[in-house]
Amino acid sequence: MLLPSILRTVVPLVAGWIIVALTHLGFTLDSNTAQAAVTLAVAGAYYLVFRLVERTAEKFGGPVWLKGAVGALLGYARPPRYKATDDVAELVRQSRP
């Protein structure tokens, strides 16, 4: 279940960057474009590293303080939980508050 959380974080970042790049009608690599690409890469790597540490701590019974600290650095102390289902209607119901 690690892949869905990574995809839900990285894909919107990539899509947003592509949309912004395409609206300029030309593909020139100026400092702003380079900065956006580096920011995207760093944000993706940051998330991936802390999410892997969180998963490792869960799997091997790491200390509670480590799980909490890593979760806080990701913005929410508990990792996402996804219920496995192929039913689209059920997925929509789960996503509603």
Provide the residue ranges of all domains of the chain, joining segments of one domain with +: 2-95
Q: What is the pLDDT of residue 47?
A: 83
Q: Which DSSP string do the residues of 13-57 spell out, in sequence order?
A: HHHHHHHHHHTTSS----HHHHHHHHHHHHHHHHHHHHHHHHHHH
Q: What is the pLDDT of residue 37?
A: 80
Could you say which residues of the chain have pLDDT below 70?
1-2, 19-21, 24-29, 82-83, 85, 91, 95-97
Q: What is the pLDDT of residue 82?
A: 66
Q: What is the pLDDT of residue 17?
A: 72
pTM of the model: 0.61
DSSP at 72: H
* Residue whose pair of structure tokens reads 């974080």 in the numeric block: 9
Q: How far apart are CA 21 and CA 17, in angstroms?
A: 6
